[in-house]
Amino acid sequence: MLFTEETQSLFTSAFVELFELDISAIAPTLPLEQKILRFSAQKNPLGNDVVWQGKTYLAYPIQATGFNVNGNNSPPRPTIKAANLGGILTDLCLAHSDLIGAKLIRHRTFARFLDAVNFSDGNSGADPDSHYPDDVFYVERRASENNAFIEWELRWPYDLDGVMLPGRVITEDICVSVYKSPECTWIPNGHYFDVTDQPCAVGNDDCSHRTTGCKLRFGAKADLPFGAFPGAGMVRQ
């Protein structure tokens, strides 16, 4: 059965809500298998963890609310509350700054489309592509905690409340790019210059962060990856 038909049916199969917590941005040194945590408040018909798109979602006591968009033009600020069994979540928060900045992905589908391993007789209607669009949020803060549970407040990716623009300092003649970074793209060719744009040994190689240093490396007539805004000097206040 097509997903659109299922959503419009009077007798749909069970609604399934799955969560994926990606902490790779705040814990880059963790092994890959520990960077993404998958969980759900539901179990499959066999009473086991739900398997969807070949991935297992641990059955865990959680409650997520506040995902609906309201009519006052403000973005949703959902909350997710999870049981703090044995203090495991407290340990996770202590190790990774309360999980602030972690990405939470909310998946929604119907039991009819779950992987065949969730059913004793398999599932001929299993379809990993039949689901609602994913909801992506980021952990904004730890709202409350006790021995029983921890609750976090989430934010929408485009919720820029409190962000000041521009996000990057506008300078006229000082490049803010990191030397020999992906922004700079300079590959040494045997000629090195110091912070005063004078020829030097490789050990003293550094950039003056001015157009003169950029031209020495890329060429006087080349397109320079200069990380400043020369035109800013033309603006009069």
What pLDDT, on a 0 to 100 scale, did the predictor assign at position 11?
85
Sheet arrangement for strand 149-155: 50-52, 55-59, 36-40, 15-22, 103-110, 135-145, 149-155, 79-83, 62-65
Mean pLDDT of 45-72: 88
Name the percent of the chain lying above pLDDT 70: 88
More confident residue, 160 or 16: 16
Residues 6+ apart with CB under 8 A from 144: 150, 151
Task: With a cut of 90, say whether residue 8 has pLDDT above it.
Answer: no
- The alpha carbon of residue 5 and the mean position of all alpha carbons in its chain are separated, in whole angstroms, by 32
Task: With a cut of 60, say whether residue 234 has pLDDT above it.
Answer: no
pLDDT band per the 50, 70, 90 thresholds, residue 51: very high
Quickly list DSSP for 109-136.
EEGGGS-GGGSTT--TT--TT-SPPPEE
Say if residues 35 and 23 touch (Cβ distance below 8 Å).
Answer: yes
Say if residues 51 and 16 touch (Cβ distance below 8 Å).
Answer: no
Mean pLDDT of 147-162: 79
What pLDDT, on a 0 to 100 scale, did the predictor assign at position 97?
86
